[in-house]
Amino acid sequence: MFVSDDFDVPKEFEGPGFRLEPLGPVHNERDHMAWMSSIEHIRTTPGMKGGWPSPMTIEENLSDLEGHAREFTDREAFAYSVLDGEEVIGCLYIDPTEDEGHDAEVSSWVTSSRAEMDPIVWRSVSEWLAEKWPFENFAYARRI
C-alpha cells in the first residue's frame, strides 16, 4: 500500500506563485500545450526519467491524464497540475518507489517559459511533503 487508507490525500496546495490540483482530463488542452512547448527543457529537469516527454496527440494525452486521475482515485500514485491561475505551468508526480532507501519518488517539471518557478516549486513542495504527507524519506531531485 502506497499510503494508508486513513491518510487524507490533499486535493490542493497553495505555494508562492502557484497552486496544485489533481491532474485530470479537465487539464488536457492546457497540459498538452504546456509540455509540448517545453519538451527539451523538461528532459533536462533533474529527476525526469525514461525519455519523457515524447510528442503525442491531444487524444493520447487525454488517455494519459485519465490514467493519472484513476491512479489518484485508487491511491496508487498522485499527479498534480502546477497552475498559475488557470494556466498549466507544470506537473508534480508522487509515485511509489522500489528504492529501499525511500518510500516515495517525487518529480516535477515546469514549462521553459516559467523556468524560474522550478526551484520555488521544488522548495515549497519539499516542505509540504515533509509536513503533510506520511513519508519518512522521499526522493525528489534537488533544484537550487
The enclosing domain of 115 has a CATH number of 3.40.630.30
Say which residue the cell 505551468 belongs to: 89
The reported pLDDT for the residue numbered 48 is 82
Q: Is the pLDDT of residue 92 over 80?
A: yes
Q: Does residue 69 fall inside a structural domain?
A: yes
The mean per-residue pLDDT over the stretch 1-27 comes to 96
Q: Does residue 136 fall inside a structural domain?
A: yes
Q: Does residue 8 fall inside a structural domain?
A: no
Domain that holds residue 79: 17-140
Q: Is the pLDDT of residue 104 over 90?
A: yes
Q: Does residue 54 fall inside a structural domain?
A: yes
Q: Does residue 95 fall inside a structural domain?
A: yes
> What's the pTM value of the predicted model, to 2 decimals?
0.95
The reported pLDDT for the residue numbered 98 is 84
Question: What contacts 99, CB < 8 A, 6 or more positions away?
Answer: 105, 139
The mean per-residue pLDDT over the stretch 97-119 comes to 94
Q: Does residue 11 fall inside a structural domain?
A: no
Q: Where residue 49 falls among pLDDT bands split at 50, 70, 90?
A: confident
The reported pLDDT for the residue numbered 144 is 62
**8 Å CB contact between 90 and 80:** no
Q: Does residue 130 fall inside a structural domain?
A: yes
Q: Is the pLDDT of residue 103 over 70?
A: yes
Domain count along the chain: 1
